Each structure stands twice: as structure tokens, then as C-alpha cells.
A and B are shown apart, each in its own frame.
Chain A
Amino acid sequence: MSDLDSVSRRDLLALAAAFLPSSLTQGTGQGDSGIGRLPRPGMAGMSRERITDYENDPLIIGIEERLRCTCGCNLDVYTCRTTDFTCQTSPAMHREVVGLVEQGLSSQEVLDEFVARHGELVLMAPRKEGFNILGYVLPGTAISAVGIAMLWILARRTRYGNPIVADGARETDGLNMSSGDAERLKAELADLDN
């Protein structure tokens, strides 16, 4: 092997070493980390950060599902940050939640902290206190109250009432019903059951 050959090979390797990172990044689509770069990154939405354990932590998710994203989307923080990938508010709120959990706050304390900062509107459901209790109990109470009232009224009516058909039928019990009428009655009752 000649000197020239060895020099050339060294030069070639040096050249390759010098060009490789940039060419992989731009030309052949390989980055510093050996991962291809997208031809048009801006078209793939907002740049994302790597997922950490916090993003899948049930405690964090549980808290975020009870917090409303303040961007105006009406979604909870967890749903917004994992659905609306153009929103910058929910990722920021997620970081806040993570920060508070890292400080050792419990779920309730984190929620209280958010209410202190943003008001009760930040909760996905109102707290069960004061006027809000009415919000929770009114539908069930109203249905139960009407149901009980209906039962009471129906019980009275069916016990003491004077149903037209029943009485009419009872009155006819002692009468001799013609076979034609009996057939008709049978047909009508069958029709009613349909």
C-alpha cells in the first residue's frame, strides 16, 4: 500500500468525518443522534418534547383530568395536551402540575393551588360546597320527588279511584254477555295488548 494511498484514505476519512454530521442533517436526512430529519419540520405541527414518566403518571393524569385548560377549548388539561397539539396553554399547565407534584403536594393541594391562581372556573366540575351542592342534587332530588309523588297519586287513584272500564266490566259480570260481544271483547283485549 503506497503513502499516497494511505494519505488519501486518511484525507477521505477526515473529510467524511467533517461532512458527515451536516450532510446527514441536511442531505441524507440523518441528525446528530442518527435520526432522520424531516424535510419540512414546520409542516408536522408544533415541535414536541420527549415523553417522560410524568406524562403517563396516573397521579398527574388524574389531576389534569379535573383541571380545565384555560385556552378556551373547554377540554380538561390532559385531553387538551394529548389532543389539541396546537395549544400552548395545556402543556404549560401540565408543567405547572408536574412542578407542584414534584414539590410534594397532594392531588387536592395541587387542585387548591390552581383554584387559588385561576379561580373555581379552572375545575372541570364545581366543588361540592355551598350553592354548587344544589347543582349536584337538584336533578336527582327532583326526579325522586316527582317519582314519589307519582307513586302516591297513582296508589291513591288505583286504590280509591273509580276506573271506568273496571267498574263497567264488574257491572257486566252478572249480565249474560252474548257470544258476539264476548268475541268482540276478547278481540279488543288482544288488540290492546298489541
Chain B
Amino acid sequence: MVTGENSAASQSETLIARIRSGERAAEEELVTLYRRPIFAIAAARTGDREAARDLTQEVLIAVLKAARNGQVRESEKLPAFIQGTARNLINNYFRSRVRRAESTLEAAGTLSSDPVGELEAAERRRLVQEELRSYSVLDQQILLFSLVDGHSLVEVAERLKMSHEAVRARKSRLVRKITKKFDRLSQK
């Protein structure tokens, strides 16, 4: 694990160094690497996909800007730097609730659109929907009550007049099943 972490840290260092030296491909690599998790974080924090899309772009631009200007001091801790940037920008968004003006950064053009990524994301969502709809009523209710309503498994069991153990087993089976399927799709 330590070796893996070291390897990831050295990759980050290399990436930052390449960006700083003005290598365009390195910037694209960073964007490809971090766009999806940043979007997931922004979506989870804001609950608004549109806002999350804009915020993802803002975070990437800010990170690239910092990398170009040599402001990423501990380059081996790039993920932590990105997380901090994302957190600050999302908090700013909540404070102002006003979308920021478009950046004039040169790289903005390459970041603004990712049609392939968007299509892939839409396809993944469609497949998840299809999979969920194939589940039984009870299974969908278990997932709804726990994943959307945020009820604990005990509360779900009480509402559905089932044992806690049965609800736990069902939910865990469903999540495992869909994760497996989703993993296969993501690797395609």
C-alpha cells in the first residue's frame, strides 16, 4: 500500500512538473484524471448537477492555474490540493449563489466541453436506471428508503415489516450486484 501511495505521489509530482514546464498533454491528463471525481464531489455537496458541472470546471481551471504558476507546493499531495480547492470553491458558491464569470484562461476552451464524457455518463445513468427498474418492488423500496430517504436499515425494516437482517442482506446483495455490473460497464 505504501509503495502504491509512493508511486501515486511520484506520478503527481511528475504531472505537476510537466504542467509547469508548459506541456499541454499533461494538463489534459490532469483533467481526464480528476474531472469525474471532482464532479461527483460537487454534485454530492450541491445536489445540483448543473451547478456541479460549472464548479468542476472552475476547480480544474484553478488547479491548472496554480500548477502553471508553481503554487502547488507539495506536489506529491495533489489530490489533497484539489480537494481543498474544490471545497473552497463550493463553499464560495454557496455563499454567493452566483455563478462566476467565465475565466479567460487559455485552457478553458479545452475544459468547457467533453462530449464523449457526457455521453458516457448519460449512458451509465441509463444503464443504472434500467438495472434498477428490473428489481422487484420490495428491492426498489428498500433502496429508496435507505439511499434517498436516508433511513437506517432498522427503520427500513420497520416500515416494510421485515426483519433487519433480511433488509440488510437484500440491500447488500443489490448494491453488490449493481456495483459489479457498473464496474464492468466502466471498464468497457
Asked whether A and B interact, the reply is no
On A, residues with C-beta under 8 Å from B are: none
On B, residues with C-beta under 8 Å from A are: none
